[in-house]
Structure 1
């Protein structure tokens, strides 16, 4: 059914009409649907702007709901405004994405908040907000339905991964879960420690984990445990004359990938100096 863009006031001349809410906010929807993000993110964000997502407060309007508290912080009722603007998890996401300082200036409704942000923003910033809201909702659903507590920095990483994939920067790269990226960083750190002990001074580090390589190349900082490991890696690099960071594809990194799966049940680390395990040695023979 197609609705008219205009509505008449009672007693008004039938030839005179006032723009409807849709017409007044048309600029928001045109920017939303033209955004270069995934279709499911556009649809989600449209629903969010209409306060039509299944927050606990919205569900309580339709069915009996014993608990309407925010599952992320347990500090307030779970409304759209709270979950995406006021919750400390959301505020941490906006801070990490450098999108703070605007969200408190506009009304209490989600659409007021979006309108206030979007008016003076570039399209890339608008898209970042859309993806971030979608990632927050994704993390919220994992908490509610899977019992998984998603950390703020994990949401930020998810946003960065999605934006990179949308932009095409992630083409050919693996999408890494945050805990796996941290494990890769620890492996790099341990490898450099062994290189120091062996007296090496010219180092090339190759990894198929783009998150680790990018963080080391740009010396990116953060508050998560992942970045604590990155800091340790950068500090130990002062022990070498030169260190080169290189991202490589999974196909070109099969030896390291095979080594990582040699003893998955062993806790701790394993160091091979003069002889490699048979599986890695066989790959070296095939490749070189």
Structure 2
């Protein structure tokens, strides 16, 4: 079962206290809490609410021009934003979530998610509202991918800062988990951020972005493959792809960075084996003798958004794109955010 298309009740009867305690207890920025509270209350300025208050002549969604624009429609059901949910990793969970109100939908989805996924889901909701408003009110629209990844990163950084200040629920070793923010490499080094994106049909996107000590982009590389790889193997292939491009461009001193902690550990420990990941580790380490690879580091997802976006540039299996000038605008916009 999916969402009821007419559902737009703020708080269903008998759930009110639970909803408010739940919302105000979320570990996300106060602005996001306030947005979620307004969404769950059903008071966002969507067309159905404005029409009910005689502020506009109809309640038709300004984005799709077909359905009544309720809060649920604006944040999830509208065809104009479904593509972003489908690429988010949450689509399967949300499509099986049966609700009759925004509040119970949000709570049910959050309760099915774990750890950092909760913050990413709420950041996605916030981004959907920002994208909707950009389309309607802004002459020059921001790239939706930049909006999404920027808000996801902001929420992740807030959570990391708050956990560092008040203490988290478990012991985290500094050597195991990297920073939540991207940082520039040393002078003379090129830092290469790598990531993989999993698509339907066994297709995988690989992304690698090299930047210098000023934070300037040196190259952007994306490749799409048809392969039945596991997530860890795909992440390892992304690292290998980044090194392949560095070798092609004759780079000297290289620092690798990935948000795949298991893969970073495996490469750091030279964990060679006969399984798929072990063979990938072996292939990666071969490049260490061909390039001056100074280090391989882990960075949290919020610090790897540029590579994450780059992994989605190619749309056809077998396609490869390499930029050394005239970099894609969404990538440069995200790279600029890393320097703030």
Other-structure match for 1:120 = 112
Higher mean alpha-carbon deviation, 73-82 vs 36-45, is at 73-82
Aligned to 2:60, the other structure's residue is in SS state: coil
Contact 1:96 1:156 (C-alpha < 8 Å) held by counterparts = no
Say yes or no: does 1:163 pair with 2:253: no
Contact 1:189 1:232 (C-alpha < 8 Å) held by counterparts = yes
Aligned to 2:322, the other structure's residue is in SS state: helix
Aligned length: 205
Say yes or no: does 1:138 pair with 2:169: no
Say yes or no: does 1:31 pair with 2:11: no
Contact 1:106 1:112 (C-alpha < 8 Å) held by counterparts = no
Output the aligned Cα RMSD: 4.6
What TM-score do the two structures reach when normalised by structure 2?
0.47
C-alpha displacement of 1:52: 0.8
What TM-score do the two structures reach when normalised by structure 1?
0.54
Give 1 or 2: higher strand fraction.
Answer: 2
Following superposition of structure 1 onto structure 2, how do residues 1-288 of structure 1 map, counting pairs within 5 Å? 24-66=15-57, 68-104=59-95, 105-122=97-114, 124-166=116-158, 167-168=160-161, 169=179, 187-189=218-220, 200=250, 202-204=252-254, 214=304, 221-223=311-313, 232=322
C-alpha displacement of 1:230: 8.7
Other-structure match for 1:271 = none
- Which structure is larger by alpha-carbon Rg, 1 or 2? 1
Instruction: Point out where structure 1 has 5 or more consecutive residues left out of the alignment.
Output: 1-19, 175-180, 235-248, 252-288
**Closer, same or farther in 2 for the Cα pair 1:155/1:87, shift >3 Å?**
farther
Higher relative contact order, chain-length normalized (CA < 8 Å, sep 6+): 2
Aligned to 1:101, the other structure's residue is in SS state: helix
Instruction: Point out where structure 2 has 5 or more consecutive residues left out of the alignment.
Output: 1-10, 162-178, 185-208, 222-243, 257-298, 325-337
